[in-house]
Amino acid sequence: MTLTVDTLTEWMNNFTAKIELNQQFLSDLDTPIGDGDHGFNMNRGMQAVTQKLTEKPASLMAALKQIAMTLISTVGGASGPLYGTAFLEMAKKSDTIDDLGELLEAGLAGLEKRGGAKPGDKTMVDVWAALVPAVKSHDLTESKITAAVEATKDLVAKKGRASYLGERSKGHVDPGSQSSGYLFEALLETKGLL
């Protein structure tokens, strides 16, 4: 499960394709509980990431750092700093480690630190916390991803814009969790990584 510049690039390209395909769906998810732009923001950010990665970065660390910087400067809102932090923490860790599971674990720690959210708060942390251990134990599956994303539906939001709705946030899948679900699906589709 060694992450390389090439597998990272393929993973990101797969992620971009999924975001592009589902940008309207992600923004629709965001409409009742947020401000309705998550899909468009993520698409703008990932298009920029894909564009940057066409020129091959010199190292895994350089690649992860470039992804982080591109996301924070183009996505905006809260998703920009959150995804940006996840990749930045992975970049820091990649100085000494290239194991995908351990890198993702550092990314999750970064997400928790930046947003102050814990599992159960109805944020993307729920999906990462459920799936990073699956990556580490080599049994990430499509159905686990779907289950992790769907599980956010019946939670009451405790963090982020949706938290102001309290009980009314129930019944909606968290948009950040859905986009994170695509990130893990993109991993499954990346050859020779898991």
Partner 1 sequence: MKKIINDPVNVVREMVAGMVRSYPQYLTKIPETNAVMRADRNSLAGKVGIVSGGGSGHEPTHAGFVGQGMLSAAVCGEVFTSPTPDQIYAAIKAVDQGQGVFLVVKNYSGDVMNFDMAKDLAQMDGIKVKSIVVDDDIAVENSTFTQGRRGVAGTVFMHKVLGAAAQSGASLDEVATLAQKVLPCIKTIAVALSAATNPETGKPGFVLSDDEIEFGVGIHSEPGYRRETIKPAKELVAELVKQLDKQMQLSAQKKYAVLVNGMGATPLMEQYIFSNDLLDKLQEYQIEPVFMKIGNYMTSLDMAGISLTLFELQDTQWLDYLQAPTKTIAW
Enumerate binding residues for partner 1 (CB under 8 A).
69, 72-73, 76-78, 80-82, 84-85, 88, 92, 114-115, 159-161, 163-164
Nearest approach, Cβ of residue 152 and partner 1 (Å): 19
CB-wise, 92 or 136, nearer to partner 1?
A: 92
Nearest approach, Cβ of residue 147 and partner 1 (Å): 28
CB-wise, 107 or 115, nearer to partner 1?
A: 115
Distance CA 140, CA 130 (A): 10
Nearest approach, Cβ of residue 78 and partner 1 (Å): 6
CB-wise, 10 or 37, nearer to partner 1?
A: 37
Nearest approach, Cβ of residue 176 and partner 1 (Å): 13
CB-based burial, 5-32: b 16+ in 10 Å, e otherwise: bebbbbbbbbbbebbeebbeebbebbee
Please give, one letter per residue, the 3-state secondary structure of 67-116.
HHHHHHHHCCCCHHHHHHHHHHHHHHHCCCCCEHHHHHHHHHHHHHHHHC
Give the closest residue to 91 by CA, choosing from 117, 63, 52.
Answer: 63
CB-wise, 29 or 88, nearer to partner 1?
A: 88
